[in-house]
Structure 1
Amino acid sequence: MAAGAGCRSVPVTAVTGPEAQPAPRRPDGVVLDPPAAIPLAVDRVAARGVVALREPLGDEALFDVVRTYVTAFQHEDVDGLIQLLAFDAVALDAKGPRSRSAIVDAWRARFRNLDYAKLVGTEVIDFDAIERYTAQNLGSAGSSSSSSSSSSFGVPARPAEMRDADVLLRIPVAAARVAGERYFGDVILMLLRRDGERYRIAGLAEEDAP
C-alpha cells in the first residue's frame, strides 16, 4: 500500500475581500515656486516693484572719515590716507591731480615739503561748521543750488562725479596755516561714497577763502 496519496500543492490566491490592505496613497505632485530673490539693497530707487533700502549711515560715519583724514595727515601716514580712498577717487579741482594715483603722489610731495607733525594737538577742523550736501540739495551736475548758505563760499556746484547717494562735505579748516606755513586750503571739499557700512573718499579738493 502506498504511503499515501501524496501532498497536493495548494494554489495561493490573492486576497480580494475586505481583508485586503490598500496600497499607500501617493498624493499628486505639487509645483513649488522657487523662493523669491531678495533684491539688492540700495540707498535710493524709484518707487516701483519690490525694492530693498539700506539703512542710512548717520553723520557720525561722515565725520569719522574727516577725523581719520586729518589724523593721517598729522602723522604723515600715506597708507592710512590710501585706505580712505575709493578705488575710482579723483580730484574735484580740474587744476589738480585727477587720478587716484596722482592724489597719492601729491600727498607724498606735501609730506616731503612740510612737517605735518607740527599739527599734532591742533584743532585742524571746525566740526561744528562742516556743511553737508546731498545730490538733491545741489541739483544737476555742474550747477549750484538756489538755496542760501551761511558760508562765504556760497552753495557749491554739484561735482560731475557725484552720484545720487553720495554726500559732499565742505569742511572749514581752522588751522590752515601754522607759523606762516600753509598746510591746507581754507576749505576742504570731500565727496564721500558709501562702501558697505562706511564711507570712502570719492573726490577731493581744497579751496582758498575769497
Structure 2
Amino acid sequence: MILSSSRSELPRRARVSMAACVLLFVGLLGCGGAGAPLFATTSELPEGSRRPDGVAVDPASAPPRARDVANAEAGLVTLRTPLGTEAVLTTVSGFFRAIVNEDMEALEGLFTRDALSISTTYGPSGSSPSAPLFWTQRMRRLDYTRLAGEVVFREVELEVYRAEDALTSSPHPAIRVEALSMGDVVVRVPITTSRVGSDRLLGEEVVLWLRREGERYRIYRLVEDFQMP
C-alpha cells in the first residue's frame, strides 16, 4: 500500500516543478532585458504644451458689391435677389395711406432724396418740383383727410412695368425707357376716387417710378395730371 501511494505522487510533483521553472524563466526575461523600450516614456515628452498641427487657410476676401445685373465676362459677381410684387404694393399702399392721413413724415420716407413730382398739366415736359415740397404745399391747400373711407385705388387695376422686361414703349410719355435703371419699376395707378365734392384731390391716374433701395422701393418720380388750385 505504501509503495502504491508513493508512485501516484511522483508525476504530480514533477508537473509542479516544471511549471515553477517556466515562471522563473519568464520573470528573468522581463527583468533582465537591457534593451531600450520601443516607445517614448513620460520623462522624454516635450515639457511645453502641445500645439495642434498647422492647417493652411486661405484668407477670406470680401465679396463683390451686389448688383442687379452683370455680364458673363464679369467673372465673380454678387447679384441681388429681385424684389417681388409685394414690395411694390407696400410702397404704393404706403404712399396713398400717408396722403389720406396727411402724414408728411411717412410720405417723405417713401421718396428718394432726388424725388420729383411731374405734372403733365404744364405740357409734355411738365413741371418738376421736389416731390416732398410739392406735397407739403398740396396738403396745406387741400384737405386729403376727406378721402378717408373712400376707395382711392384698386390693387387689381395696377399695371406694373419692370426695366428688365425689355419694354418697347414707355409706360408713360413723361418717362423714357432708356432712362430706366435695372431694377426700376413703373406702376400705373388708375384713381377710383379723385374728387370729393367739387374739390379735385388727385389726377385720374398716378404713375409712380420706383427705384430700389436695399430691400424696399422708394418713389423716384411721380407723374400726375394735376394742377394746384
TM-score, scaled relative to structure 1? 0.71
Deviation string, structure 1 residues 49-95 (Cα, Å, up to 9, x no partner):
12222222211111111111111111111111101011222234542
Question: Which residue does 1:151 correspond to in 2?
Answer: none
Q: Is the 8 A contact 1:92 1:204 kept in 2?
A: yes
The separation in 2 between residues aligned to 1:96 and 1:137, in whole angstroms, is 28
The separation in 1 between residues aligned to 2:213 and 2:145, in whole angstroms, is 30
The separation in 2 between residues aligned to 1:106 and 1:138, in whole angstroms, is 32
Question: Which residue does 2:158 correspond to in 1?
Answer: 130
Question: Which residue does 1:5 correspond to in 2?
Answer: none
Question: Which residue does 2:71 correspond to in 1?
Answer: 46
Which residue among 103, 109, 112 is the counterpart of 2:137?
A: 109
Question: Which residue does 1:80 correspond to in 2?
Answer: 106
Is 1:95 the counterpart of 2:95? The answer is no
The separation in 2 between residues aligned to 1:87 and 1:160, in whole angstroms, is 21
SS of 2:87's equivalent?
Answer: helix
Question: Which residue does 1:190 correspond to in 2?
Answer: 208
Give the partner amino acid of 1:137: D
- Where does structure 1 lack aligned partners over 5 or more consecutive residues? 1-17, 24-28, 140-144, 147-153
Deviation string, structure 1 residues 164-184 (Cα, Å, up to 9, x no partner):
111111111111112121111
Q: Is the 8 A contact 1:44 1:53 kept in 2?
A: yes
Question: Which residue does 2:122 correspond to in 1?
Answer: none
Is 1:204 the counterpart of 2:228? The answer is no
Question: Which residue does 1:180 correspond to in 2?
Answer: 198
Q: Which of structures 1 and 2 has the bigger CA Rg? A: 2
SS of 1:203's equivalent?
Answer: strand
Give the partner amino acid of 1:85: F
The separation in 2 between residues aligned to 1:78 and 1:22, in whole angstroms, is 76
Is 1:171 the counterpart of 2:167? The answer is no
Cα offset, 1:32, TM superposition: 5.2
The separation in 1 between residues aligned to 2:199 and 2:118, in whole angstroms, is 24
Q: Is the 8 A contact 1:97 1:106 kept in 2?
A: no
Q: Is the 8 A contact 1:124 1:174 kept in 2?
A: yes
- Where does structure 2 lack aligned partners over 5 or more consecutive residues? 1-35, 38-43, 47-53, 120-124
The separation in 2 between residues aligned to 1:63 and 1:22, in whole angstroms, is 71
TM-score, scaled relative to structure 2? 0.65
SS of 1:90's equivalent?
Answer: strand
Q: Is the 8 A contact 1:92 1:159 kept in 2?
A: no
Superposition RMSD on alpha carbons, in Å?
3.0
Cα offset, 1:199, TM superposition: 1.0
Size of the alignment, in residue pairs? 177
SS of 1:202's equivalent?
Answer: strand
The separation in 2 between residues aligned to 1:64 and 1:31, in whole angstroms, is 49
Q: Is the 8 A contact 1:192 1:201 kept in 2?
A: yes
